[in-house]
Structure 1
């Protein structure tokens, strides 16, 4: 049986236990770095996971249980060393929307949640084995940006009820929730509003002037103390329930076929969203660190974490952007930092569980609203709306759908729009290396990953469609070029590149940052007006710099490359630098 399982892994390209390779070369120095990163993340994770449980309409301890379980389980199967798996804003609000759309009361949702998690785990594991994660390259980032923006609006309107002390019916869409909030606003409790306002007055100064401290946890601590003082003067707000480790129960969920059929659609939407969100985070951090990630392996790790949460009282999981970035910036060396985070969360649960009962609900709700506001990324929205019509269309379809429809429906509609627009294009750029052989003739060969000697200047001719579906392929190919030891400058020749969009703009920006962090530089030549417009609208031109951007001249097509080579020689300080040309691969 074990042999068959290992054979399945080999055939799928997955690794049954990638953490083993990490532990074989693990050192005390790496352990200290991982422990430090894990502790930093746990100080954010503890209050954040409570907030995500509140967003999902669940008891706050379920968020902590989920973070602890997934932080320990996911690294055993993960490909990325930085991505922290656990509850997230996007998946929490999707979970809330799913149960509200089904008309489940809170008690029904609690009973159905383990079943939904089992279904998510099955979808994740099966999807990883058949390589479904590779299809994420055909889904534009505009879908994710549109969904997260709509989810932020739903988060804000749902938490406003707690901030105002209202007890109005819950709804599954932003539009309906807003209507119910407006109808019940006359019953606002000033005590709850006072505590929420106090939370803002505490949090915002801390966020601005105490950036090195865990501001969310510190804000809850201060407001909890102030609320206790206010209670002596008769000003009372609703409090969270204290958490005891004894309430953490493990066991098999009760599976009923009727539940499986009803929850399947919601589970599929949660799994799909988790895959999109985690893949985006993994690729972004990999671009900054120079790592390579296997998205199917990441999908397997989320499946394992979902299964652990199903048996251990958790909630849905995904990659967390804020915790993953903090893990990266804290100097984590391996995925073991996530395990340390899980251990510290359990310790915190033992030490601080009872103190949670002193946290006012309006305070935590106000912090959740502030987190929701931060999800409305105006820079990313501007890129999606200004770069191309396709990106703007997909973003608006997803966003507007998320306001008036259930979020799982919105993400399906957005994905369908993204793929539909993709069918009008075609893209898979290939690169061939063109260089001189010993006899002085130009020869072509497949791009090599390793060579003993590399040129100092590479001219890369990008031809054909270059848009979101090909951005990952393009970035992967360019990394082969960037990592050549002797290379100093890359000249991207974009004269024949078409259909650039926001995803490619972000990809090239990541390439520029990665190249410069490795002592290389990037120059663009042959940029026709459409390319220039995309570069300007997305802010990529500002990142690249005018001095490294050379426009196409119809009267002399080679002048931009000549000027780019002069600029490259200025950067390298060598007038006789070796040059290799990478041209588009011939397709038969």
Structure 2
């Protein structure tokens, strides 16, 4: 039973009363899937039809392999620029669309293989490599990059610029050269305004669908094509064949680098969305199963002229609000797209290109988290600057280097906290049990001759010297010190470098006539100390089960009582 695909298990337990709700939700969902699929395909530098192929295949694959009953997969605004940044540099000057599709399909297969292998190896934790502050900064940078990149299309012209600064310069130059199409600006601006107003004032109405219908109507009635406004044109009829993409060996390296970044962002997005919606529906998140499902969906898309996909919070929310109960919702949405491609391929032929730009721009606005950035500034300045650094990484270096910057900053932040952890002296606070930070409690009393020192991190090669210097500093600050007691409960590890430095510290303290003792040291850490041979000098009397026991032993040996904080 455990090896049965999740979709099959759902089908076996399917309830008849769910059917109507799933079908209705699928119909509603399809109205969003079509324009978004085409818009995000163009964002990735691909023909609009590939967005529909991708939507169909990933929905069907996730319906079989996906553990969540409500998540909706498909082309995503956060992945589009990463796909373009990977594929476009590999194209020849003529920008052959067939080669672009082959490269994007191979990219999807690579992303699928990476996530499948990671899921089988139970590496779901890799989604945690990007911290929340750096993810906020990355998404803010991505939102700005997408917005600037869509402005030429919104104004009715195109540019060949690369990078945020280059795109800004090319856009300004295009406007200055008089390449703006007034009708395109009017249509695009009106579409953006309509989507934003409907989303705010009438959130239950499918804003994108209303915009698309009105945009097509205006395009036909006013004959916008004759006024210089480009339209989508007639889509190819039917479905794509099973295709193994053919690319050159020299393309594999750049594609693999891009696939790693896309897989990481896709997994982080999927796990966060799965967690959010699972909490609302009472389901349990299974990160490794989600990775396998995402990998399966990407593999399916890659074999039918598609490109990498992720989950979408907005599409999932639409399906949930429409009453979706299971992944049959996605199957219905995919079936309706197929029917449109087979029976009505010209349905969206008069859709203005600025309307697709409006879909992408409004999606980019939802990626930005300015409120979260302001909260970081108020709550923790260091994490605010991490967010700013990640933002600048995307804006100045590009989308793919930006994700590397975000991951690097997250890892460096973890290392920084372990490298320079918080440390303090503990004292006794009148009327409060235990021993507490003297920085937070001015009334805390100190026992004459005893320093109770707490170091809030594992001891390892990077921070062991800082630990030694802090202990010696506190010892020298009070010449009457006879004992340093390490409140070792936060010390979860001691490596060999730290063990050697502990031995050096003990020798230095003995020269000063000061003994070094430990309290609340965890058994696994003490066993390591024994294995390192430190028990030659650190005998059993140096270790106490609690800080209280160690303090009482010191008082008994030295006949002292509590004093006041110096």
Greater CA deviation, 70-79 or 381-390?
381-390
Residue 287 and residue 143 in structure 1: after superposition, are their counterparts in 2 closer, same or farther (change >3 A)?
Answer: farther
Q: Is the 8 A contact 2:238 2:338 kept in 1?
A: no
In structure 2, the residue matched to 1:360 is 352
Kindly tell me: are residues 288 and 403 of structure 1, through their superposed partners in 2, closer, same or farther at Cα, counting changes over 3 Å? same
Q: Could you say which residue in structure 1 is the equivalent of 2:72?
A: 84
CA shift, 1:209, in A, is 4.7
Q: Does 1:340 align with 2:332?
A: yes
The answer to whether 1:176 aligns with 2:166 is yes
1:150–1:399 contact (8 Å) kept in structure 2: yes
Q: Residues 197, 342 of structure 1: CA spacing in aligned structure 2 closer, same or farther, 3 A cutoff?
A: same
Alignment partner of 1:145 is 2:136: yes
Q: Is residue 239–residue 338 contact of structure 2 (8 Å, CA) maintained in 1?
A: no
How far is the alpha carbon of 1:223 from its aligned partner? 1.8
Deviation readout 1:549-583 (Å, 9 max, x if unpaired) = xxxxxxxxxxxxxxxxxxxxxxxxxxxxxxxxxxx
Closer, same or farther: CA 360–232 of 1 in aligned 2, 3 Å: closer
Map of 1:520 onto structure 2: none
1:295 aligns with 2:295: no
* Partner secondary structure for residue 28 of structure 1: coil
Matches within 5 A, 1:68-467: 68-102=56-90, 106-107=95-96, 108-171=99-162, 173-185=163-175, 186=177, 187-200=179-192, 202-231=194-223, 235-246=227-238, 248-425=240-417
* Contact map agreement 1:143 1:411 (CA 8 A) in 2: no
Q: Is the CA contact 1:198–1:223 (under 8 Å) kept in the aligned structure 2?
A: no
- What residue is the counterpart of 2:516 in the other structure? none
Cα displacement string for residues 154-212 of structure 1 (whole angstroms, at most 9, x for unaligned residues): 111111111112232131x2222112212222222223223323434544554455433
Structure 2 residue aligned with 1:570: none
1:67 equivalent in alignment to 2:55: yes
Task: Report the number of matched residues.
Answer: 417
Asked if 1:25 corresponds to 2:17, the answer is no
Instruction: Evaluate the alpha carbon distance shift between residue 145 and residue 349 of structure 1 in structure 2; reply closer, same or farther with a 3 A threshold.
Output: farther
Report the secondary structure of 2:227's partner residue. Answer: coil
Name the stretch that deviates more: 340-349 or 78-87: 340-349
Gap change, CA 1:390 and 1:103, over 3 Å in 2: farther
Query: 1:96 Cα deviation (Å)?
Result: 1.4
Is the CA contact 1:116–1:263 (under 8 Å) kept in the aligned structure 2? yes
Which of structures 1 and 2 has the bigger CA Rg? Answer: 2
Q: Is the 8 A contact 1:79 1:295 kept in 2?
A: no
SS in 1 for 2:223: helix
Q: 1:24 to 1:397 in 2, by over 3 A?
A: same
Equivalent-residue separation in structure 2 for 1:74 and 1:206 (angstroms): 30
Partners of 1:384 and 1:345 in 2: how far apart?
Answer: 42
Asked whether the 8 Å contact 1:78–1:301 carries over to 2, the reply is yes
Q: Deviations over 1:200-258 (max 9, x none)?
A: 45445544554333221221221222122222895341111211333633322225432
Q: 1:73-93: per-residue Cα shift (whole Å, max 9, x none)? A: 012122222211111110112
Q: Distance in 2 between matches of 1:16 and 1:75?
A: 13
Q: CA RMSD in A?
A: 2.6
Bigger drift between 140-149 and 85-94 goes to: 140-149
Q: TM-score, normalized by length of structure 2?
A: 0.69
With structure 1 as the length reference, what TM-score do the two structures score?
0.66
Q: Is the 8 A contact 2:45 2:88 kept in 1?
A: no
8 Å CA contact retained: 1:241, 1:356? yes
Q: What is the CA distance between 1:352 and its match in structure 2?
A: 4.1
Q: Which moved more, 1:129-138 or 1:382-391?
A: 382-391
* Aligned mates of 2:26, 2:19 — CA distance in 1: 10
- Shift of residue 264 of structure 1? 1.0
Change over 3 Å in CA distance of 1:27–1:423 after alignment to 2: same
1:55 matches 2:43: yes
Alpha-carbon distance, 1:138 to partner: 4.4
> Which residue of structure 1 aligns with residue 564 of structure 2?
none
Go from structure 1 to structure 2 and tell me whether the alpha carbon gap of 1:385 and 1:109 turns closer, same or farther (over 3 Å shift). farther
TM-aligned CA deviation for residue 359 of structure 1 = 0.7
1 CA distance for matches of 2:119 and 2:21? 30
Runs of 5+ in structure 1 lacking a partner? 1-5, 427-463, 466-497, 499-588
Q: Quote the offset at 1:300 in angstroms.
A: 0.8
